[in-house]
């Protein structure tokens, strides 16, 4: 398209949107060059706004854009020139809507792929045409610059955006909205992507005119629209990770799409993301806004069926050092991903050894250069995960605490060898220590979403130090859970395992959830049996069905948190058969599954039953597999003092931290090598994807 033709075509749009030619061209040659390309097969418009005039800044929106851009290029085959990003002051209402109309509307053709992403504030605004209701709206970069006196705001109505998406000439449209609309009451300094609504605010007349124009057009498309929250009153949150901030929803979504082939139903994909968000301490529940609930993510097919943890983004002059983008690693793992971790190129067996990492980017060296052709864009898959042995539970101290309270809390937490404290918002954290809003004279431990942890509060008027001291058992349990979550590798494990959680009834077992090591199976049809929001009624009799489809026997350990954040484990008791001995104490035995065998837990040929008890809450189980026996783990489990009443299949885990540390050592011992990691074995665990698998099951008990 010639420059003159381009300006003529966009002229009418600019007039409707109230943009001058000079303002439009201020976007620079980068935008014009992208528009001047021949009609592409894959188009994207990515919006991210951290800095707003006279509004508190956000932190993770630009990272969201980067997460999406790298995903689209390296995982889905988009050309960089076909991805337009509007960030900060570029992301005005006028520019966003003009870019949408001319970039996507006029250039996309039937069957082309189109992706739209927005990260920034949302809010609510009242329309003069319907003053009795408030409308959802996206807050543009110049939202409040029209008229302070008349309270005119430059928002983009959600209705406008949905009509724009539906007006596109292709059905292969995916939109991601990492924002929310109802500003919550401030809780514990947590950052939400929603601004308080103003009943006096008026929407810009240009936006209303544009909306009316859209309503007169044909709307041939049925887009997939993924939103960060399902409940209108939920907040889309962003969080500080290892050297960067990001929207929780965007990070969970892009990480899922790196590791998994998106052929499952969207509702199932959303359940995976919800599970990931839960492990990050968030109650966000992403949602599909489309009415077609059985849609698949086929509108966004990957370049290949192979999942990955990242990609090569640059190659240094020596031809041996590469730069990696590692957004496919589970978010909870990234912070603790150590030097000497290893990756394989998806197209070869050659290994890349991690030498340094900053946030989502890393440098690695290829172990042998001869005969290897390195290329930018090559996918990399996890081969060896190196984790530090000394990992702390990190407690953020709320800014609502007085200075003396923070000093006392810091001192009290320092008495625990595996606990560290930070100021909320300054560094990544696992939990928050704060005052209870209803009773400011009480202190308690909260999740990162502001939810009070059960059995983790002090008494009214109790001193900070005494409350912290009482938290000792809970802190140990929470650290143990953090450590076993670091083993999760459903995406990267090379052990072919499939596990199903079932409710036993008189007819046939009912499937609640299913997890499988996706890189070892050709299809994901079985995963589609999972329910979007797994719910287990109180009183249900449960079992796990585990299929070992690998060529080696595997050993299994099951750990978890029950309804009140108490650690539990699955116990396989065995009574030794010794003659002339009446009182023999049962001991734990290894759970081993032979190649090709399917095992149920509890085993159906025993009298043991596993019944879900109340109260209503959430449960989490981690099923961890190894090609070597869990000798140290069983020794730690046997060391605890169990009463006869506790000798059931699922029981309390009394020494959770000791057990998990022994488990990590067992997984390390099962790895294929010990001595070629440059002397790091003494202070780290090295886990080989060929020798371990770890699957997470989280469900609601109602």
Please report the pLDDT score of residue 220 as a whole number: 76
Do residues 338 and 455 share a domain?
Answer: no
- What average pLDDT does the segment 417-430 reach? 92
Do residues 457 and 518 share a domain?
Answer: no
CB contact at 8 A, 558 and 620: no
Look at 54-58, 139-143, 297-301, 656-660 and tell me which has the smallest mean pLDDT: 297-301
Whether the predicted pLDDT of 608 surpasses 90: no
Please report the pLDDT score of residue 584 as a whole number: 66
Whether the predicted pLDDT of 564 surpasses 90: no
Binning pLDDT at 50, 70 and 90, where does residue 669 land? very high
CB contact at 8 A, 474 and 656: no
Do residues 66 and 138 share a domain?
Answer: yes
Binning pLDDT at 50, 70 and 90, where does residue 48 land? very high
- Other Cβ atoms closer than 10 A to 196: 10
- What average pLDDT does the segment 232-245 reach? 88
Whether the predicted pLDDT of 56 surpasses 70: yes
Whether the predicted pLDDT of 4 surpasses 60: no
Question: How far is residue 514's CA from residue 501's CA, in Å, rounded to a whole number?
Answer: 6
Q: In this structure, is residue 322 part of a structural domain?
A: yes
Largest CA distance in the chain: 100
Q: Which of 129, 122, 164 is nearest to 143 (CA)?
A: 122
Name the CA radius of gyration of the chain, rounded.
27
Q: In this structure, is residue 204 part of a structural domain?
A: yes
Do residues 316 and 223 share a domain?
Answer: no
Question: How far is residue 144's CA from residue 253's CA, in Å, rounded to a whole number?
Answer: 31
- What average pLDDT does the segment 205-209 reach? 89
3-state secondary structure of 218: coil
Burial of 680 (0-12, 13-18, 19+ CB in 10 A): middle
Whether the predicted pLDDT of 146 surpasses 60: no
Domain boundary (320, 355, 388) is at: 388
Please report the pLDDT score of residue 390 as a whole number: 92
Please report the pLDDT score of residue 264 as a whole number: 55
Binning pLDDT at 50, 70 and 90, where does residue 543 land? very high
CB contact at 8 A, 514 and 499: yes
- What average pLDDT does the segment 111-120 reach? 94
Do residues 375 and 430 share a domain?
Answer: no
Please report the pLDDT score of residue 528 as a whole number: 41
Residue 332 vs residues 179, 272, 486, 512: alpha-carbon distances, Å: 22, 14, 7, 25
Do residues 272 and 315 share a domain?
Answer: no
- What average pLDDT does the segment 285-309 reach? 66
3-state secondary structure of 173: strand
Do residues 347 and 428 share a domain?
Answer: no
Residue 541 DSSP code: B
Please report the pLDDT score of residue 276 as a whole number: 86
Please report the pLDDT score of residue 626 as a whole number: 97
Question: How far is residue 265's CA from residue 666's CA, in Å, rounded to a whole number?
Answer: 37
- What average pLDDT does the segment 270-291 reach? 82
Residue 39 DSSP code: P
Q: Which of 351, 349, 350, 302 is nearest to 328 (CA)?
A: 302
Q: Which structural domain range is residue 349 located in? A: 310-388
Please report the pLDDT score of residue 33 as a whole number: 37
Q: In this structure, is residue 183 part of a structural domain?
A: yes
CATH number of 64's domain = 3.40.50.1460
- pLDDT 10s digits, 257-274: 998 865 556 777 788 888
Q: Say how far residue 59 (Cα) sits from the centre of its chain.
A: 17
Please report the pLDDT score of residue 32 as a whole number: 33
Binning pLDDT at 50, 70 and 90, where does residue 374 land? confident
For residue 279, is it left (φ>0), alpha (ψ between -120 and 50) or beta? alpha
Do residues 535 and 594 share a domain?
Answer: yes
Whether the predicted pLDDT of 576 surpasses 50: yes
Q: Which of 384, 368, 371, 248 is nearest to 309 (CA)?
A: 384
Q: Which of 396, 400, 395 is nearest to 475 (CA)?
A: 395
CB contact at 8 A, 465 and 411: yes
Please report the pLDDT score of residue 371 as a whole number: 62
CB contact at 8 A, 628 and 613: no
Q: In this structure, is residue 432 part of a structural domain?
A: yes
CB contact at 8 A, 270 and 210: no
Question: How far is residue 332's CA from residue 459's CA, in Å, rounded to a whole number?
Answer: 32
Please report the pLDDT score of residue 30 as a whole number: 33
CB contact at 8 A, 261 and 303: no
CATH number of 334's domain = 2.40.30
Q: In this structure, is residue 140 part of a structural domain?
A: yes
Look at 143-152, 480-489, 615-624 and tell me which has the smallest mean pLDDT: 143-152
Do residues 527 and 621 share a domain?
Answer: yes
Whether the predicted pLDDT of 337 surpasses 60: yes
Whether the predicted pLDDT of 2 surpasses 50: no
Higher pLDDT, 11 or 420: 420
Binning pLDDT at 50, 70 and 90, where does residue 468 land? very high
CB contact at 8 A, 503 and 510: yes
CB contact at 8 A, 394 and 377: no
Please report the pLDDT score of residue 494 as a whole number: 94
Residue 520 DSSP code: G
- pLDDT 10s digits, 76-108: 889 999 999 999 999 999 999 999 988 888 888
Residue 542 vs residues 44, 111, 526, 649: alpha-carbon distances, Å: 45, 45, 19, 11
Q: In this structure, is residue 52 part of a structural domain?
A: yes
Domain boundary (447, 473, 499) is at: 473
Q: Say how far residue 322 (Cα) sits from the centre of its chain.
A: 26
Do residues 671 and 592 share a domain?
Answer: yes
- What average pLDDT does the segment 585-593 reach? 86
CATH number of 429's domain = 3.40.50
Please report the pLDDT score of residue 39 as a whole number: 42
Whether the predicted pLDDT of 641 surpasses 90: no
Q: In this structure, is residue 70 part of a structural domain?
A: yes
Binning pLDDT at 50, 70 and 90, where does residue 644 land? low
Please report the pLDDT score of residue 44 as a whole number: 95
Please report the pLDDT score of residue 606 as a whole number: 58
Please report the pLDDT score of residue 86 as a whole number: 96
Whether the predicted pLDDT of 1 surpasses 50: no
Question: How far is residue 242's CA from residue 391's CA, in Å, rounded to a whole number?
Answer: 14
Residue 684 vs residues 103, 665, 672: alpha-carbon distances, Å: 50, 9, 15
Please report the pLDDT score of residue 275 as a whole number: 84
What is the distance in angstroms between the CA of the first residue and the CA of the last residue of the chain?
59
Please report the pLDDT score of residue 7 as a whole number: 40
Q: Which of 291, 295, 299, 260 is nearest to 276 (CA)?
A: 260
Q: In this structure, is residue 460 part of a structural domain?
A: yes
Backbone angles phi, psi at 422, to 5 degrees: -140, 165
- Structural domain total, the chain: 4
Higher pLDDT, 616 or 185: 616
Question: How far is residue 174's CA from residue 168's CA, in Å, rounded to a whole number?
Answer: 11
- pLDDT > 70: what percent of the chain? 82
Whether the predicted pLDDT of 42 surpasses 60: yes
Residue 696 vs residues 370, 514, 534, 622: alpha-carbon distances, Å: 40, 10, 13, 5
Please report the pLDDT score of residue 139 as a whole number: 95
Q: Which of 45, 50, 291 is nearest to 164 (CA)?
A: 45
Higher pLDDT, 421 or 234: 421
Do residues 383 and 400 share a domain?
Answer: no
Do residues 381 and 397 share a domain?
Answer: no
Please provide the average confidence, as pLDDT, over all residues in the chain.
83
* Parallel/antiparallel/unpaired status of strands 497-503 and 452-457: unpaired
Binning pLDDT at 50, 70 and 90, where does residue 161 land? very high
- What average pLDDT does the segment 138-161 reach? 82
- What average pLDDT does the segment 55-77 reach? 94
Q: Which of 544, 429, 476, 486 is nearest to 663 (CA)?
A: 486
> Would you say the C-alpha torsion 473, 478, 483, 488 has a positive or negative sign?
positive
| Angle (nearest 5°) at CA 311 between 108 and 82 | 20
Domain boundary (388, 423, 439) is at: 388
Question: How far is residue 147's CA from residue 157's CA, in Å, rounded to a whole number?
Answer: 18
- pLDDT 10s digits, 376-416: 999 999 999 999 999 999 999 998 899 999 999 999 999 99
């Amino acid at each position: 398209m010639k420059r003159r033709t381009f300006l003529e075509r966009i002229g009418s749009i600019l007039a409707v949107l109230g943009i001058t030619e000079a303002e439009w061209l201020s976007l620079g040659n980068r935008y014009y060059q992208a528009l001047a390309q021949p009609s592409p097969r894959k188009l994207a418009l990515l919006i991210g706004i951290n800095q707003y005039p006279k509004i508190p800044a956000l932190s993770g929106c630009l990272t969201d854009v980067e997460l999406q851009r790298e995903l689209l290029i390296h995982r889905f085959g988009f050309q960089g020139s076909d991805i337009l990003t509007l960030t900060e002051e570029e992301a005005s209402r006028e520019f966003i809507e003009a870019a949408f109309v001319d970039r996507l509307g006029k250039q996309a053709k039937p069957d082309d792929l189109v992706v739209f992403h927005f990260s920034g504030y949302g809010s609510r605004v009242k329309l003069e045409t319907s003053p009795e209701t408030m409308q959802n709206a996206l807050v543009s970069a110049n939202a409040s610059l029209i008229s302070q006196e008349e309270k005119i705001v430059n928002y983009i109505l959600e209705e406008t955006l949905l009509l724009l998406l539906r007006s596109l000439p292709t059905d292969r449209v995916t939109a991601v909205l990492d924002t929310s609309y109802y500003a919550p009451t401030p809780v514990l300094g947590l950052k939400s992507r929603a601004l308080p609504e103003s009943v006096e605010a008026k929407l810009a007349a240009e936006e209303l005119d544009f909306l009316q124009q859209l309503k007169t057009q044909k709307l041939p498309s049925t887009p997939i629209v993924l939103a960060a929250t399902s409940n209108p009153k939920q907040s889309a949150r962003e969080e500080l990770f290892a050297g960067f901030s990001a929207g929780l929803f965007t990070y969970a979504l892009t990480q899922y799409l790196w590791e998994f082939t998106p052929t499952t139903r969207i509702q199932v994909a959303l359940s995976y993301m919800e599970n990931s968000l839960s492990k990050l301490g968030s109650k966000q529940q992403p949602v599909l806004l489309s009415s077609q609930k059985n849609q698949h993510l086929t509108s966004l097919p990957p370049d290949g069926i192979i999942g990955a943890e990242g990609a090569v983004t640059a190659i240094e002059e020596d031809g041996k050092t590469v730069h990696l983008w590692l957004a496919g690693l589970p978010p909870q793992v990234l912070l603790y991903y150590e030097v000497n971790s290893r990756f394989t190129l998806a197209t070869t067996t050659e290994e890349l050894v991690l030498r340094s990492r900053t946030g989502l980017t890393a440098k690695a060296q290829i172990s042998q250069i001869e005969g290897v052709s390195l290329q930018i864009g090559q996918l990399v898959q996890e081969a060896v995960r190196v984790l530090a042995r000394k990992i702390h539970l990190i407690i953020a101290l709320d800014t609502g605490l007085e200075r003396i309270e923070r000093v006392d809390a810091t001192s009290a937490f320092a008495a625990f060898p595996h606990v560290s404290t930070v100021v909320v918002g300054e560094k990544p954290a696992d939990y928050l220590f704060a005052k209870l809003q209803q009773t400011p004279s009480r202190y308690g431990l909260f999740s990162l979403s502001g939810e009070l942890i059960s059995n983790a509060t002090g008494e009214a008027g109790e001193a900070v130090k005494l409350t912290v001291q009482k938290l000792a058992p809970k802190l140990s349990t929470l650290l143990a859970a953090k450590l076993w979550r670091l083993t999760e590798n459903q995406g990267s494990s090379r052990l072919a395992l499939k596990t199903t959680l079932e409710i036993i009834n008189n007819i046939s077992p009912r499937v609640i959830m299913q997890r499988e090591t996706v890189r070892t199976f050709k299809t994901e049809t079985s995963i589609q049996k999972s329910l979007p929001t797994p719910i287990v009624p109180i009183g249900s009799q449960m079992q796990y069905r585990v299929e070992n489809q690998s060529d080696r026997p595997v050993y299994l350990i099951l750990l978890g948190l029950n309804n009140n954040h108490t650690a539990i484990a699955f116990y396989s008791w065995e009574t030794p058969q010794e003659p002339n001995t009446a009182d023999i104490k049962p001991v734990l035995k290894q759970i081993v599954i032979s190649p090709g065998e399917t095992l149920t837990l509890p085993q159906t040929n025993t009298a043991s039953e596993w019944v879900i008890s109340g109260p209503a809450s959430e449960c989490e189980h981690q099923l961890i597999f190894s090609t070597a026996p869990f000798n140290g783990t069983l020794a730690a489990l046997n060391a605890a003092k169990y009463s006869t009443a506790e000798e059931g299949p699922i029981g309390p885990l009394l020494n959770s931290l000791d057990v998990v540390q022994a488990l990590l050592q067992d997984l390390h011992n099962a790895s294929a090598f010990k001595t070629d990691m440059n002397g790091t074995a003494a202070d780290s665990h090295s886990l080989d994807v060929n020798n371990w698998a770890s699957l997470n099951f989280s469900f609601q008990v109602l």
